Amino acid sequence: MRTPDYPSTESARWAAVDDYFAGLLAPPDADLQAALADNAASGLPAHDVSATQGKMLALFAQMVGARRILEIGTLGGYSTIWMARALPADGKLVTIEFNEAHAAVARRNIERAGLSDKVDLHIGRALDVLPTLSGPFDLIFIDADKPNNPNYIRWALELSRPGTVIIGDNVVRGGAVADPGSDDANVRGVRAFLDFIAAEPRLDATAIQTVGEKGWDGFLLAVVRA
Ligand code: DHB
Ligand code: MG
């Protein structure tokens, strides 16, 4: 069992259900397992999405018929692999990673999975890279430094079209998101992100809490209105 980001007395049971679901519906394959092993061996933080969450992202990509996916925050490329596999043969995934060491691990993981031709990995500050991209993207996954989430959602809108699906990771943070007085910069970033989305007439959104091997967290889900 991985160390949950948000531990609880229930952690082991949540992880057991994730193992059960993942074994049935998102069974481990060699390239995904190797990516997680390399991430750990390289000292990357274990903040990858879980297998069931990776499968969920891949299903979202299929549901929207995504041909172009944008990921802000590559880490070791685990979620990248899940989403890129859901692309059609001519599909592209653009992913941005600030940390060069993390990006080097991600590049190897993506290569091993045979996805180098579909994945365009940019190394640098997302706020420097985003203005160089041209949209629209069909699906956008925001999973980088949370204090910049309000900036990332603005860029996501800029690079979207009506119908684009936007997903934000880690919006619950062990329940801390509900504390309006939090002085945690991550919580404040997520709250400002949610405030922006709530006030943005071009977005229709919800947020969903999850428990599992990562503990208690959740996703923001939004669609750009027609
Ligand atoms: C953290 C970041 C993540 O993207 C994640 O999925 C879990 C935790 C963090 O910075 O704590
Ligand atoms: Mg995350």
pLDDT digits (tens, 9 = 90+) for 12-60: 999 999 999 999 999 989 999 999 999 999 999 999 999 999 999 999 9
pLDDT at residue number 28: 85
pLDDT at residue number 5: 85
Q: How far is the CA of 187 from the centre of ligand 2 (A)?
A: 13
Crossing angle for the helix pair 78-85 and 100-112, to the nearest 10 degrees: 40
Where does ligand 1 bind, in terms of residues with CB under 6 Å?
A: 5, 47, 143, 169-170
pLDDT at residue number 167: 99
For residue range 131-171, list pLDDT tens digits in order.
Answer: 999 999 999 999 999 999 999 999 999 999 999 999 999 99
Q: Which CATH number fits domain 11-224: 3.10.20.30, 3.40.50.150, 3.40.50.300, 3.30.365.10?
A: 3.40.50.150
Which one of 170, 187, 210 would you pick to mutate in the ligand 1 pocket, going by the greatest count of ligand atoms within 8 A of its CB? 170
Distance in angstroms (rounded) separating the CA atoms of residues 197 and 176? 19
* Position 4 confidence tier, pLDDT thresholds 50, 70, 90: confident
Crossing angle for the helix pair 78-85 and 51-63, to the nearest 10 degrees: 30
Distance in angstroms (rounded) separating the CA atoms of residues 215 and 11? 6
pLDDT at residue number 8: 86
Question: How are strands ordered across the β-sheet holding 92-97?
Answer: 119-123, 92-97, 68-72, 139-142, 165-169, 215-224, 203-212
Q: Do residues 123 and 147 touch, judged by C-beta distance below 8 A? A: no
> Which residues lie closer than 8 Å to 186 by C-beta, 6 or more apart?
146, 147, 170, 173
Domain boundaries, the chain: 11-224
